[in-house]
Structure 1
Amino acid sequence: MRTVSPSDTWVYALRLPHDPRAARVARMTVRSVLASHGRAEVSETVELLTSEMVTNSYLHTHGPASLRLTALAGGRLRVGVWDSDPRIPAPFGRPPRDRVPIAPVHADRGRGLRLVAEYADSWGGVSLGGGTLDRRAGKLLWFETGG
């Protein structure tokens, strides 16, 4: 008889409405998923960074967002957040024309993405296009941690 062992890789996706409670829902989902896969040791960092990215999506767009949590080979985790704004904020954007500047350390607001740069092992973003005719395209921002 052959036994099947669970894979070390998995994916969870969650569609989030444009709602101020979306970041909380995202944090609770991340916490639950990581605990169910025995990854509680990275939960605090992943929850914080996910919350910052989902909050930015809520503050800077008018539509829904999507969260995708992926376990990669070697114990790495990737979190991606999609939203409808095609502009890539710093530190995610490469071309200067797409960058929204990162907030100064002592700013009252806007420091969330600085946390991503500090605590994630890697991060990135891609504009999927969009504009007045196709607001659904947007962007995907992601970070990786663990391993």
Structure 2
Amino acid sequence: MLVSQDGEPVIVLCLFVALEEGRWIVEQCFSGIMNNDKTIAILYGQHVHLFDTDSHQVKSLFLDDYVGHIYSIPDVWDHKASLSENFLVTTFQYTFLIHVSSGIIWRSEPCGIDGVIIHDIREGIIYGSGEWDPPDGWVPFNLRLSDGHRA
């Protein structure tokens, strides 16, 4: 991925895919990217990679589940929103609250088995749906933003 600033190339970021124990490539169809002035967050495989644009350091967070989506707080559906200091990542089963510097703050209990989507955040409550019975078995859930427990 080419990172540019003011239309000028700055650096090329390369992601490498890991192999599972059975020598299978750990890869799936979802990935995502979101950034602010100092950090680029990249979702791929089972990781969130946080690239610091000043120091060029990368922090990789292993989620132990395949990534789904990334959401800025509180603007979860504003696709033009910048990466917030605290942001949400969903995987096939879980919702994570992540801080750009300190990493994973909390992981929820399972919210689904084949996908988790966040719809809104209001008054400290995360509103989402998890797929429990594919292909159309979506079940709503509510989590407290403060700790990830059911609301």
TM-score, L = length of structure 1: 0.30
Greater percentage in helix: 1
TM-score, L = length of structure 2: 0.30
Greater percentage in strand: 2
